[in-house]
Amino acid sequence: MTQCSTEQRPTIVSRHLTSDGLVVWTRCACGRLRMDLVPDGPGGSRLTAGPCPHVPS
Ligand SMILES: [Zn+2]
């Protein structure tokens, strides 16, 4: 099993624009998928789902 570390940067799988903002999918070195929602404009709150427990965000 591959272990990830802070020295390995996650790979961007895909990024696309939605009505809520920019959604970025990244895959960690250990294979874990993570989703980030970057809101479009002020007022929105940034959302992160499935962050890898090995890598501090
Ligand atoms: Zn990881």
Q: Give the total number of structural domains in the chain.
A: 1
Q: Examine residue 39 and state whether it is found in any structural domain, yes or no.
A: yes
> What is the distance between the alpha carbons of residues 3 and 27, in angstroms, rounded to a whole number?
13
**How remote is the CA of residue 1 from the centroid of ligand 1, in Å?**
11
pLDDT band at 56 (very low <50, low <70, confident <90, very high): low
**How remote is the CA of residue 37 from the centroid of ligand 1, in Å?**
19
pLDDT digits (tens, 9 = 90+) for 2-26: 678 767 788 999 999 999 899 999 9
pLDDT the model gives residue 57: 52
Q: Examine residue 29 and state whether it is found in any structural domain, yes or no.
A: yes
Pairing of strands 33-39, 21-27: antiparallel
List the domain range (segments joined by +) for residue 24: 11-49
Q: Examine residue 6 and state whether it is found in any structural domain, yes or no.
A: no
**How remote is the CA of residue 34 from the centroid of ligand 1, in Å?**
10
Q: Which helix (H) or strand (E) holds 15?
A: strand 11-17
Whole-prediction pTM value?
Answer: 0.74
Would you state the structure tokens that stand for residue 53, as one six-digit string?
């427990």
pLDDT the model gives residue 30: 86
**Residue labelled with tokens 């965000």:** 57
**Residue labelled with tokens 């874990």:** 32
